[in-house]
Amino acid sequence: MNESIVLSHLATCLDPNTGRDFIKDKSIKRVAVDGNDVTIEVVVGYPAKSQYDAIRQVVTQHVRALDGVGKVAVTVSHRVVSHAVQRGVKLKPGIKNIIAVASGKGGVGKSTTAVNLALALAAEGANVGILDADIYGPSQPQMLGITGRPESADGKTLEPMEAHGIQAMSIGFLIDTDTPMVWRGPMVTQALEQLLSDTNWRDLDYLVIDMPPGTGDIQLTLSQKVPVTGAVIVTTPQEIAVIDARKGLKMFDKVGIPIVGIVENMSTHVCSNCGHIEPIFGEGGGKAMCRDYNVPFLGGLPLDGSIRAQSDSGRPTVVANPDGAVAATYREIARKVAIFVAQKSEDHSAKFPSIKVVS
């Protein structure tokens, strides 16, 4: 029994979350053999606190199938690194990966999806921030239950606000709740760039951006200037919403931003009195869009009054009812997003210094 035999055997051991073997994903960081006893260190590329036991069990059982193996000790952890973004755009300091959550139109639950995605990633052990990029209708202060103004130590940059273990920034922190933003496109774009660049984000594995609805100049400019690792498109099953969602998907495709997948909100309505399930907004719109564009279907959420009530109260579903079925769906969506990011090529630009030749 030696390390090479164990490694060769692990080449057929599949990660239950990715469906790929741990060797191919470079998740096996150390194998040590002492007599017949085997020690293995597994480090996956996505946050997976809730999955540690399942991964440990799969690896342990797989190694125990080898002849002559004694004790098997498996440690599991995760490490998130920076991954490639669209060509010609540099990463932002303090942020490893940026996930844009977008929709073709408003009212489809984009902000609710964004905040629950951020909270679900944090619950799995990631350092997460959320940027509310909807200048005209900022929702995240209300959804996160944050009041007050961000601090500035130097008068130039802002410290992110915090709630439920995530960092947050929004124009809503800087203005009164009932103050309308009567700004033209260039002013909005500049404000968003400043909120992103002038916030002292602290070592984020993921920054989730709650994008403005639509596909206008603001969204296009952000997509070209902000280093986005991938985009999540939110829609409802209704054909009117899907038509606009398709436009959002094509916009990201044109600027070289990969589509992580589609989230379908309001997939079904469950009657609170009798439990009858009805697809009142139609059915199959999100999945049909996935088939047409060959992108993953990340998950469907019901039209549920508790989701709305929890978001309005400042405690979104993932923190208000973490053991419920809806929170489990959000966590599954978050895991799919994180795995998508982990399987992209790594960004090495920060590892190589720029070289200047001075004559």
- If asked whether residues 103 and 172 sit together in one domain, one would say yes
CATH number at residue 39: 3.30.300.130
Could you tell me if residue 92 is inside a domain? no
Task: Taking residues 33-37, report their average pLDDT.
Answer: 92
310 vs 277, which has greater pLDDT? 310
Which residues form the domain of 114? 98-342
Instruction: Tell me what the pLDDT averaged over the chain comes to.
Output: 89
- If asked whether residues 282 and 197 sit together in one domain, one would say yes
71 vs 176, which has greater pLDDT? 71
Give me the number of domains the chain comprises: 2
Could you tell me if residue 200 is inside a domain? yes
Task: Taking residues 282-309, report their average pLDDT.
Answer: 90
- If asked whether residues 39 and 108 sit together in one domain, one would say no
pLDDT band at 355 (very low <50, low <70, confident <90, very high): very low
7 vs 352, which has greater pLDDT? 7
- 269 pLDDT more than 70: yes
Tokens of 58: 């799969």
CATH number at residue 221: 3.40.50.300
- If asked whether residues 290 and 320 sit together in one domain, one would say yes
Could you tell me if residue 347 is inside a domain? no
pLDDT one-digit tens code per residue, 218-254: 777 777 888 999 999 999 998 889 999 999 899 888 8
- If asked whether residues 287 and 192 sit together in one domain, one would say yes
Q: How far apart are CA 302 and CA 128, in angstroms?
A: 25
Could you tell me if residue 349 is inside a domain? no
- 20 pLDDT more than 50: yes
- At residue 174, the pLDDT reads 85
- If asked whether residues 50 and 103 sit together in one domain, one would say no
- 130 pLDDT more than 90: yes
- If asked whether residues 230 and 308 sit together in one domain, one would say yes
Listed range (72-76, 113-117, 353-357) with the worst mean pLDDT: 353-357
Could you tell me if residue 241 is inside a domain? yes
Could you tell me if residue 53 is inside a domain? yes
3-state secondary structure string, the chain?
Answer: CCHHHHHHHHCCCECCCCCCECCCCCCEEEEEEECCEEEEEEEECCCCHHHHHHHHHHHHHHHHCCCCCCCEEEEEEECCCCECCCCCCCCCCCECCEEEEECCCCCCCHHHHHHHHHHHHHHCCCCEEEEECCCCCCCHHHHHCCCCCCCCCCCCCECCEEECCEEEEEHHHCCCCCCCCCCCHHHHHHHHHHHHHCECCCCECEEEEECCCCCCHHHHHHHHHCCCCEEEEEECCCHHHHHHHHHHHHHHHHCCCCEEEEEECCCCEECCCCCCEECCCCCCHHHHHHHHHCCCEEEECCECHHHHHHHHCCCCHHHHCCCCHHHHHHHHHHHHHHHHHHCCCECCHHHCCCCCCCC
- At residue 353, the pLDDT reads 46
- If asked whether residues 130 and 102 sit together in one domain, one would say yes
Could you tell me if residue 87 is inside a domain? no
- 321 pLDDT more than 80: yes
pLDDT band at 348 (very low <50, low <70, confident <90, very high): low
Could you tell me if residue 60 is inside a domain? yes
- If asked whether residues 195 and 224 sit together in one domain, one would say yes
